[in-house]
Chain A
Amino acid sequence: MRVKLSRLAHARSGDKGDGSNIGLIAYTDEGYALIREIITPEAVKAHFSAICKGAVDRYEVPNLRALNFILHDSLGGGGTESVITDAQGKTHGLGLLLMEIDVPDDFELE
């Protein structure tokens, strides 16, 4: 079935230079195994194609069942220089949770 990522994970984002970071945290071990497989840097870059102008890096934080993403060049110049509304990437975490993904029909969801 097709569900929003928010059924499997929660997230927080903030600024990191001229980019943002998103910490994506799965609710269960199964959920972590799944996001680790399908939420690739390429998938995140495509999802944020209108927002992120640079590359996407991904780091694994298995102890927290989490992935940390860096979205380079995604703040319109960064913190103090930018004139865009979300110059600190505060909304990027929720933006990622809106991604729709396929999960097995019997998958445990929040």
Chain B
Amino acid sequence: MNRSVRIGNGQGFWGDSVDAPLRLFEGGPIDYLTMDYLAEVTMSIMQRQKLRNPERGYATDFVRFVDQVLPELKKRGVRIVANAGGVNTEACRATIMESAKRQNVSGLRVATVSGDDILGRLEQLRDSGESLAHMETGEGLFDADREILAANVYLPTEPMVRALDQGADIVITGRCTDPGLVLAPVLHEFKWTDWDGIARGTVAGHILECGAQSTGGNFTRWWEVPDMAGIGYPIAEVSDDGGLVITKHDGTGGMVTVDTVAEQLLYEMGRPDHYITPDCIVDFTSINISQEGVDRVAVTDVKGMAPTPTLKVSISYLAGYKATGQLVVSGPDALAKAQLCARVVWDRLAMAGCQFDDTHEEYLGVGVVHEGIVPAAEHAPEVVLRLGVKDADRAKVDRFGKEIAPLVTSGPPGVTGFAGGRPKAQEIVAYWPALIDRNKVTADVSVVEVGS
């Protein structure tokens, strides 16, 4: 008899459904629940939160969820792996430990994985010879003055496995790879050390990492997807004989087919025969998928190779300010009037002495996202005018935000739909991907038991 485990992913990104993890937890059998909270921009937001309040800088949605399920979690023996720690894994754990004490949940072990945050080590790394050159442009990070907001290494999965090996019920990490959240329980359970095995767990994680995108969400033939409101989040069933099946809880909406899984396999894909993670390199041109039952897709023949000697670093820095604002312009002549509105805004801003590094205008409804592919709907009955600016000067960007509403009374007729107040300048958080020698990064694991 093969031994298998069920790993469900209840959160695909920062801002995903707050109810999905609970539905996955309560809706059927799972052994592990994973949750992904960190987008590239999230770390810089969390660094800012931590700067204002040393007790913050992690995903508070996660703590609220754990608080809801804690007694049941321990009773059922479901273990959680989540990158909810952001830039403050300790504070995240402290809140969960308090929750455990308050609810008299004893024996709960909560682990943190740290070492990914190298913001405080940048000077030392520079002095040790790391250029942290931009992976696409080759420019060195330290070649120009930059206000760096966050710098985090995508950690290998090994420290998460170590935490589970030490009996952690909940593993809280900062930056790790998204597939690593699923790979960690796989490697903890089956101790695979061959590259194909590590690649198999990685592919399971890749298919699960965007939540419902493998169970019918964002699927081309959307009209075939049953009960989208109650869409089930994905579960990977992994067996000690190397079996991998993607499925979802019985009775949930959505669907798991070779087509929904194939679309997700290629999501955010670069070179398919060379998918690089800190744990291995996966050859996606080796994989076969087949429908083995209703809402059950088997994934076989995954080939892996040894990883590279470097780790990827995600660095973010301040690159000026941006704002966007929008208005609805009705017909007749919606497009012509919207074009006039745009011209009026730019002219008035010029009269106020504001020129911008970059401006942008869109006429939504006329054919923006498929511009050049579909013919422009020049006679659209109404148009959403959307304007945007970028500039290094925050004051100028805020000034732009004050020039939208006046169009309602001082522009052409039929201008409406101005809601939500004046658009305000937002920081442009630019992303700087780099590589670092993996020997210069050390991950630490700490496991604490409640009451100890």
Contacts and interface: CB of A to CB of B under 8 A. Distances in A.
Interface of A: 6, 10-12, 14-18, 21, 23, 25, 47-51, 59-64, 66, 68, 70, 76, 78-81, 83-86, 90-91, 93-95, 97-99
Contact of A93 (B220, B284, B388, B390): B220
A83 B285 contact: no
Given A12-B218, A12-B266, A14-B267, A61 B373 contact: no
Interface string B336-372: 0000000000000000000000101010100011111
16 contacts: A11-B220, A18-B136, A48-B372, A51-B372, A64-B284, A79-B431, A80-B40, A81-B390, A81-B429, A81-B430, A81-B431, A83-B388, A85-B368, A86-B369, A91-B369, A98-B374
Given A21-B270, A51-B371, A64 B431 contact: no
A91 B370 contact: yes
A68 B266 contact: yes
A84 B259 CA distance: 30
Contacts of A66: 262, 266
B263 interface: yes
A80 B285 contact: no
A15 B364 contact: no
Contacts of A50: 371-373
Given A10-B220, A21-B270, A81 B265 contact: no
A2 to B, nearest CB: 16
B430 A80 contact: yes
Contact of B369 (A6, A10, A78, A95): A95
A64 B272 CA distance: 11
B41 A63 contact: no
Interface in B218-251: 218-221
Given A50-B371, A51-B372, A79-B431, 10 more contacts: A10-B221, A21-B268, A64-B262, A64-B284, A68-B269, A78-B431, A83-B358, A83-B360, A83-B390, A94-B220
Residue with the highest number of chain B CB atoms closer than 10 Å, among A25, A47, A70: A25
Interface residues of B, number: 52
Q: Which 7 A-B pairs have the closest CB atoms?
A: A23-B266, A50-B372, A83-B388, A10-B220, A12-B263, A91-B369, A50-B371
Contacts of A16: 268-270
B298 to A, nearest CB: 14
Contacts of B390: 81, 83
A104 B157 CA distance: 50
* Dominant secondary structure of chain A at its interface with chain B: mixed
B263 A25 contact: yes
B203 interface: no
A101 to B, nearest CB: 14
A93 B362 CA distance: 20
A12 B220 contact: yes
B102 interface: no
Nearest to A91: B369
Nearest to B323: A83
B40 A25 contact: no
Contacts of B428: 80-81
A62 B373 contact: no
B372 A70 contact: no
A27 to B, nearest CB: 8
Contacts of A6: 220
A21 B389 contact: no
A20 B271 CA distance: 13
A12 B288 contact: no
Contact of B285 (A25, A62, A81): A62
Contact of A23 (B269, B369, B431): B269
A12 B370 contact: no
A91 B297 CA distance: 26
B306 interface: no
B174 interface: no
A11 B266 CA distance: 9
A13 B287 CA distance: 20
Contacts of B360: 76, 83-84
A31 B213 CA distance: 24
A17 B136 contact: yes
A85 B41 CA distance: 17
B203 to A, nearest CB: 12
